[in-house]
Amino acid sequence: MRRLTPLAALALAAACAQQAFPPGGPPRHTPPVIMSVSPESGAVNVTAKALSITFDEVVSERPAMGGQSLGDLFLISPRDGVPRIDWHRTRIDIRGQRAWKANTAYTITMRPGLADLHSNVLKRPLVIVFSTGAAIPPTIIRGTVFDWATGKPVASPLVQVFRAPDSTQYITIGDSTGRFSLLTLPPGPLAVRGTWDQNNNRALDPREAWDTVAVQLKDSAAVEIYAFVHDTLGPHLSDVSLRDSLTVHATFDKPVNIAQHLDTANFVLRAKDSSIVPLKFAGPWRDYDKARTDSIARADSIAALTDSTVKKRLQAAAAAVAAVKARAAGRDTMPKAPPPVPTRAIPHSDFVLITAQPLATGTYYRLEAHGVRNLLGDTASSTHSLQIPKPPPPPAPAKTPAAVTPGTPAAPGTPAAGASRDSAKAPPMKPPGR
């Protein structure tokens, strides 16, 4: 064995003591870059067994967002089960459970969430379209999935398109605003189903909101899907509260059919002795609250108009300054698209009742609702009690010192009004001697 000279040993120790980046170079702060996709998007007559995506660095086997495994990040449409993912450090291969079908156009979507070993995340989706046949159908269905009960878009809805009679299923997942698009669909009659997939298992489960729209597709179509829980139980009263001595707020456990207009004929309010309390009005709480808010807004409109010009100028100046700062920081200054607004009427589940006489305190009432239909048309009747507590006792009046009327003789040992305490204790003065 060859021995190191003292000088060589010292040089080796100094080299080992120097700090250096770990193998692979310094940590990067940008997400992985896609170097190639095979087959390329738009390719036809594809014979490859899998879609391969190559990156400029090693990617993680576990997504940073969007699922527990790489398979959760990918969608294959038409669908034949959970995608099979093969990880090869800087390359990912995607294939279905079975081989690609002949003469079929496929859309493969990589959702946001893929990360590298430094936790840099790809936040934009990637869509690749190819066909095992000679052509790709230039068809598309765009749409939005709403939660019908609230009228708000469903974030990341599951959208499935079914084609009869072979039940081929095309699939996609919408964005955070409920919007979606499905490509390369076969022309003809299709059923489009939107689901609020709350557990993200890409399936319709009991008690999840959903609905289906029929489409006769030629080249493109636009749809709105209003998801709701499909059950056969009619609406039942879930809460009844008092807003003031004449106003009762009634809430049902599910929305009421939009074709049904509830009024005083659908409600009965009974006192403790079972006598009926007359009702002057019954209607949706949302409309009643909006009318009340509008009346307040009209009362304040004159004062608001006086400041509107100044406020607009200040807002415009602030927006201009923010845009300049954003451009200097290299951020995207394009305004975001406004959230979609439903065109269908939103069902009601809250109602207001106005009584003809004030309700008594310290007792209870019983509200009955009759013939109320749900969104599927199923009818139910229900009751709910209303307890009205006694008002709190008024606060005791504060004690104040008794006032002394001028000219009134003071009690013995009490100084007269206006006299100081010291003067009351001083002895009487003797007349001066002669």
Say if 208 falls within a structural domain. yes
- At which of 199, 227, 255 does a domain end? 227
Question: So what's the pLDDT on residue 407?
Answer: 58
Question: So what's the pLDDT on residue 295?
Answer: 57
Low-confidence ranges of the chain (pLDDT < 50): 1-2, 4, 6-21, 417-424, 434
CA distance linking residue 295 with residue 293, whole number of Å: 5
Residue 203 sits in a domain of what CATH number?
A: 2.60.40.180
Question: So what's the pLDDT on residue 252?
Answer: 98
CA distance linking residue 125 with residue 141, whole number of Å: 18
What is the reported pTM? 0.74
CA distance linking residue 382 with residue 253, whole number of Å: 11
What is the identity of the amino acid at 171? Answer: I
Question: So what's the pLDDT on residue 420?
Answer: 46
What is the identity of the amino acid at 323? Answer: A
Same structural domain, 118 and 38? yes
State the total domains in the chain: 3
Question: So what's the pLDDT on residue 64?
Answer: 81
End-to-end CA distance of the chain: 138
Q: Which residue has the tokens 């004159």?
A: 302
Question: So what's the pLDDT on residue 164?
Answer: 80
Same structural domain, 288 and 148? no
Q: Which of these, 116, 114, 117, 95, lies nearest to 106 by C-alpha position?
A: 95
Question: So what's the pLDDT on residue 17?
Answer: 46
Find the domain containing 47 and state its range. 34-131
Same structural domain, 77 and 61? yes
Say if 396 falls within a structural domain. no
- Cα separations in angstroms, 343 against 74, 194, 340: 32, 17, 9
Same structural domain, 248 and 386? yes
Same structural domain, 111 and 174? no
Question: So what's the pLDDT on residue 310?
Answer: 57
The contacts of residue 382 (CB under 8 Å, 6+ apart) are 235, 236, 237, 368, 369, 372
Question: So what's the pLDDT on residue 272?
Answer: 93
Say if 103 falls within a structural domain. yes
Say if 319 falls within a structural domain. no
Same structural domain, 71 and 121? yes
Same structural domain, 166 and 61? no
Residue 81 sits in a domain of what CATH number?
A: 2.60.40.3710
Residue 363 sits in a domain of what CATH number?
A: 2.60.40.1220
Say if 410 falls within a structural domain. no
